[in-house]
Amino acid sequence: MGGGDDRWGELLSAAQAGDAAAYRDFLTNVTPFIRALARRRLRAEDAIEDVVQDVLLTVHRVRHTYEPGRPVAPWIAAIAARRSIDSLRKRGRGASREIHDPIAYETFAEPDANKIEVDDFSKQLAKMMGELSPRQKEALELVKLKEMSLVEASAVSGQTVASLKVNIHRAIKRMRLAASRNGVE
Amino acid sequence: MTNRPTNQLIDLLSSNVKPVAPLPPPLARAGVTLATMALLCGLAFVLLHESNPLQSRGPGGEWLVGFEMLAMLATGILAVTGAFFLTIPGRPRYWLGAPLVPFAAWLMLSGAGCYRDLVRTGPAGWQLGHSMDCMIFIVGASLMLGAPLLWRLSRATPIDPLPVAALGGLGTAALAAFLLQFFHPFAVTFIDLAVHIAAIIIVVGLTALLKRPMLRPA
């Protein structure tokens, strides 16, 4: 990496001191490098982008383990390799347990009949989510809908893991109450 | 995982960045932890020790026990140091194999001592000594020595916790076995040696099994 690595080291050291602009520069500069590393192990573009984001979240979480003055590239490469392997394992497990069945959620033979039911449910769900506080809604969206881990959701939202857990619990409780009130199963 | 564009994630992360103190180098962290563990071992030795370990193999066996103890100590020190290096992304993976050389030497020297006793004392060399006490000691002392180690290792939130936990477990078990020699006024037989190995496997297995709650990996 040469000079680029030295520049990354300076930016990351500044980020450790809390410099947001330096951190933004660092993350933006290393993203193509991370993407290239992920591309060596993965083929699907969506999987590569997932790994890139996962690596960025991990970098955020472990940025205190970078020792100022040492090369940054091997540090990032190790994180990218680990997260690529995790992604491959996760996808392998998913592929061995799940089957593709496009009509699995269909209840009625006539496709339009299902659409009405889905549309109706979506409206009710949106209404119930509208009753949640912004932090509860954010916690539920990140962890339950976008399937982020608590740690990832914590890094993205700024809420602590404990706070995320409490907000998800309260959101689900509130939605259950609303569902029983509205007769939704 | 997410539909959020990567540049949006970068904005989110950089706008939420807080100052963090970089971890000291792994060698320094290992040194402080080993010093803490040595202090705990020293305390146990001063309060409880009951025998001179070098005399456990009888006349002429002192050198064998001495080298065996050196190999135990080297296994413990290298495994603990290696665990600290492996918590940092990108540090050399050869640390994973570094304690295996003294560990193999330890087992060979211990086996040689057991064989020497078997030749010297006949069938008595097969007897079961205080094996269960030894197992309880190694597992118990590992818990005492492992607590400060795991706490310090967890500060790095390792991205790959299994090798870190396994080396940490091997290191504490080896240092616990080293400490055991000062409370072991009799020679180890082959059966005792098998129980010692089983105790080490239990400690390494436990740390590997509990790696997530103990090391809080990233």
Alpha carbons A127 and A176: distance in angstroms, whole number? 13
User: Residue A159 above 70 pLDDT?
Assistant: yes
For A79, which residue in chain B has the nearest alpha carbon? Answer: B89
Write out pLDDT tens, residues B201-212: 999 999 999 988
Q: Which residues of A touch B218 (CB under 8 A)?
A: 58, 61-62, 151
Distance separating alpha carbons of residues B50 and B201, to the nearest angstrom: 27
What is the model's pLDDT at position A156? 72
| Per-residue pLDDT, A125 | 79
Residue pLDDT, tens place only, A103-113: 666 566 666 66
Q: What is the DSSP letter of A72?
A: S
Distance (Å) of CA B2 to CA A47, A147, B14, B191? 10, 8, 18, 56
Question: Residues A16-21: contacts with CB within 8 Å, 24+ apart?
Answer: A16/A63, A16/A64, A16/A66, A16/A68, A16/B19, A16/B20, A16/B21, A16/B22, A17/B19, A18/B17, A18/B18, A18/B19, A19/B17, A20/B14, A20/B15, A20/B17, A21/B14
Query: Which among B13, B17, B156 has the least Cβ separation from residue A65?
Result: B156
Kind and range of the H or E element at A126?
A: helix A111-130
Model confidence pTM above 0.80: no
Q: Determine the residue of chain A that is closest to B20 in CA distance.
A: A16
Per-residue pLDDT tens for B27-61? 999 999 999 999 999 998 888 776 676 666 666 67
**What is the mean pLDDT of the segment spanning A116-133?**
75
Which pLDDT does position B182 carry in this prediction? 85
CA distance B162 to chain A (A): 12
Q: Looking at the predicted complex, does its ipTM rise above 0.85? A: no
Q: What percent of chain A has pLDDT over 70?
A: 81
Does A33 score more than 50 pLDDT?
Answer: yes
Q: How far is B97 from chain A (nearest CA, A)?
A: 18
Of B140, B127, B195, the closest CA to residue B173 belongs to B140
**Chain A to chain B, count of Cβ pairs less than 8 Å apart?**
110
Predicted local confidence at residue A2, as pLDDT: 47
CA distance A117 to A110: 12
